[in-house]
């Protein structure tokens, strides 16, 4: 049941993560190059710059998504007392 109730938190977290990731990427790319990051749709693009831009963009999104997802799960647990997701089995000593 808690998984079903968590869906709106997850959707909102994904939207926030996308916005945060975009800002992280723009800030990181600004440190690398003064021009805008290349896009795959561009005809004449430096493949090295494109690969770097895509790698940084992917990393920024994954980091933002992971941190925001975890924070929303903690908030959900504080509010409901139930963790929304898998919990590892505890090993007895």
Each residue's pLDDT tens digit, 31-80:
999 999 999 999 999 999 999 999 999 999 999 999 999 999 999 899 88
Whether 92 is covered by a domain: the verdict is no
Whether 54 is covered by a domain: the verdict is yes
Largest CA distance in the chain: 61
Indicate whether 23 pLDDT > 70: yes
Whether 47 is covered by a domain: the verdict is yes
Local confidence band at 91 (pLDDT 50, 70, 90 cut-offs): low
Q: Model's pTM, two decimal places?
A: 0.78
What's the number of domains the chain is made of? 1
Domain containing 33 equals 2-80
Whether 28 is covered by a domain: the verdict is yes
pLDDT of residue 22: 95
Q: Rounded distance, CA 21 to CA 48, Å?
A: 21
For the segment 27-32, the average pLDDT, to the nearest whole number, is 94
- Cβ count near 60 (within 10 Å): 21
């Amino acid at each position: 049941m808690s998984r079903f109730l968590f869906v709106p938190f997850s959707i909102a977290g994904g939207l926030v993560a996308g916005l945060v990731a975009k800002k992280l990427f723009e800030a990181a790319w600004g440190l690398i190059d003064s021009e805008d990051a290349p896009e795959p749709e561009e005809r004449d693009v430096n493949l090295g710059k494109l690969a770097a831009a895509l790698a940084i963009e992917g990393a920024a999104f994954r980091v933002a998504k992971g941190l925001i997802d975890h924070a929303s799960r903690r908030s959900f647990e504080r509010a409901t007392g139930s963790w929304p997701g898998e919990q590892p089995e505890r090993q007895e000593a």
